Chain A
Amino acid sequence: MSDRDTEFRDFVTAQMEPLRGLAYLTCGDWQAAEDAVLTVLAKLYVKWRRVDNHASYARTAVVRAAIDETRRPWWRRENSQSHAMPDRPSPHDSTSAVDERLRIRDALQQLPARLRAVLTLRYLEGLSVQETAEALGCPEGTVKSYTSRGLDALRQVLGVEVFITKESRREARAV
């Protein structure tokens, strides 16, 4: 087995699940997320020796691929009744962990994919405004605007105050 294959296998073993989660939060569909991740990993395999930061490359490419997944024609056709994020739970749902998860997924699903990507990259992956802008290929101002809009939307949909961690807050001041 080559050094590249060994390194690549180690990377995939460690990163496939987190990347799938990142893609899922962006596109809201587990299968599409997996397809996006596999596509990106195949590209990364070819570029392995030429990419300095494999995790960063994969993260950026996966988010972009996941956004692209939501642009496919069949996506709009099938998304609402497929394996995508579930329908909004009833207001009478309990506060069990499962219901809470579904509630959050549903709230996220109501945001546009790029807006979800901004929130995910910034507050799950811990990227700065600048890094998020580079990852998504958009101006920093757009990232700030999307962050603000995303937080507002989540507050409205969930009916709760959404707060961020101390570390994240430092970045959020720039919003």
Chain B
Amino acid sequence: MKQELSDMLAEAKSDPPPLRYSVEDAVTAGRKRQRRLRAAWTGAGSVAAVVAVAAAIAVPQIVTDKRPTRTTPVAPAASQPAKQEPAPFAYPKDKFSGNIVGFKAGNLTVSDTVHVTPGYQVAIVVAPGHGTPVQDAAGTIHQMPNDVGQLVVYRQGVFAPAQAKKSGERVSVNGSTGYYQKPMVTKSPVKIPGKVFQTEAILTWEYDDNAWAVVTASAAAKVTKQQLIALAGKVTSGTPEPVKIGFKLGYVPKGFQLTAAGSSDSMLGFPLDGESYALLLKGNLPFRALTAPVQDPYVVNDKQLPLLQLAVYPHWWGKYEPKAGLPKTAPFCASESLCYRFTEDGKYEIELGGGGTVPDSELIKVLNSITFADPTDAGSWFDATDAVS
């Protein structure tokens, strides 16, 4: 008697029991993992971190390179006199201007505005020490700031506080009403005995009538309620500055409009040196009734809006090399709807994702039209609204 092995293997796995997990369970598990990693890794702003961190984790003993590779958070001099009664935060009227002024609160440091949308602006909260280092393809270790959370200041009428009121402990922030939610212990999205995840600590407060701000800190950072309240009490607004980015588009596909921009992408990690970002959507994304910053997917009426996501970052953060045989600056698509172009010196690259809704030929056309500013000189950057119109 003879039996064919592949038939035997196919037979052995036939007649399986019904699946316990659905496609949606897989999506949910992925999203939860992503959120957990964001909290644990403190801001995987670029997709490269997902890959690079795993390598870095394997070599913690050799992480002795002290070269800072990310910008130092902006904070006022320690001698700056503190105001006794900070004025209410004055949100900019312009859709793409930011005005969070960086500051220190105890051992936490808050950056200037790094990300702006028509509905909110974001700054990054950094704790002492280093975040998880990243090893690039050449084996160089890059130290990362220990960003532990975000400060999100919402435009008046944009934020929906009901959930914060329901689940948070009522507190006072400079006399304004706030709600504190301690990190929650949650079950693992997958069945791993003994494994639990912790959410972030969240402080939500009403800085002006129907105008709310939220500061978060990862559970791992062990930031206390008092620390968060003290931090919130120091949030002040400065002169609105148009958000700037390190590139300019000569061609924008019809119907796309600027929806977010800054030196940090929508994952809201601490900006890399030279990093800048712009999100263009084909359609209007309503910024109302938000409970958190908007992230992919950008859905309106159950329909994903076509998108163009552009991000400039240092080449060490990236994954791909320029295509062999082509000019170094020639755009190329590494995979469907994910295309790149390098700067002349090859030290930086721009990534353009079309989300599968824009043909690669259009993405190449956009990349061919790009003018780079000097990524290392923010003074040469373009106003985002001008750069993508």
Chain A interface (Cβ within 8 Å of chain B)? 1-9, 12-13, 16-17, 20-22, 24-25, 30-31, 34-35, 37-39, 41-47, 49-50, 52, 74, 97-98, 100-101, 104-105, 108, 119-120, 123-124, 151, 154, 158-165, 168
Q: Are A45 and B29 in contact (CB under 8 A)?
A: yes
Whether a CB of chain A sits under 8 angstroms from the CB of B292 is: no
Query: How many Å lie between the Cα of A50 and that of B335 in the bound state?
Result: 10
Query: How many Å lie between the Cα of A13 and that of B286 in the bound state?
Result: 31
Given A3-B357, A9-B23, A154-B5, also A46-B50 (CB < 8 A): yes
B268 CB, min distance to chain A CBs, angstroms = 16
Q: Are B4 and A35 in contact (CB under 8 A)?
A: no
Q: Which 8 A-B pairs have the closest CB atoms?
A: A45-B30, A2-B297, A3-B355, A21-B13, A42-B29, A3-B356, A124-B9, A41-B26
**In residues 307-335 of chain B, which contact A (Cβ within 8 Å)?**
307, 319, 335
Whether a CB of chain A sits under 8 angstroms from the CB of B48 is: yes
Q: A49 contacts which chain B residues (CB < 8 A)?
A: 47, 338, 353
**Which among B9, B354, B355 has the greatest number of chain A C-beta atoms within 10 A?**
B9
Whether a CB of chain A sits under 8 angstroms from the CB of B210 is: no
Known: A13-B23, A123-B5. 15 other contacts (CB 8 A): A2-B355, A3-B353, A3-B354, A3-B356, A6-B304, A8-B26, A39-B29, A46-B30, A46-B37, A49-B353, A101-B11, A101-B12, A101-B15, A164-B4, A165-B5
Partner of A45, one of B33, B297, B299, B337: B33
Query: How many Å lie between the Cα of A163 and that of B33 in the bound state?
Result: 43
Q: B11 contacts which chain A residues (CB < 8 A)?
A: 97, 100-101, 104
Given A41-B26, A164-B6, also A2-B304 (CB < 8 A): yes
**In residues 232-277 of chain B, which contact A (Cβ within 8 Å)?**
none
Q: Are B296 and A35 in contact (CB under 8 A)?
A: no
Q: Are B297 and A47 in contact (CB under 8 A)?
A: no
**Which among A22, A24, A39, A161 has the greatest number of chain B C-beta atoms within 10 A?**
A39
Query: How many Å lie between the Cα of A3 and that of B307 in the bound state?
Result: 9
**In residues 7-34 of chain B, which contact A (Cβ within 8 Å)?**
8-17, 19-21, 23, 25-27, 29-34
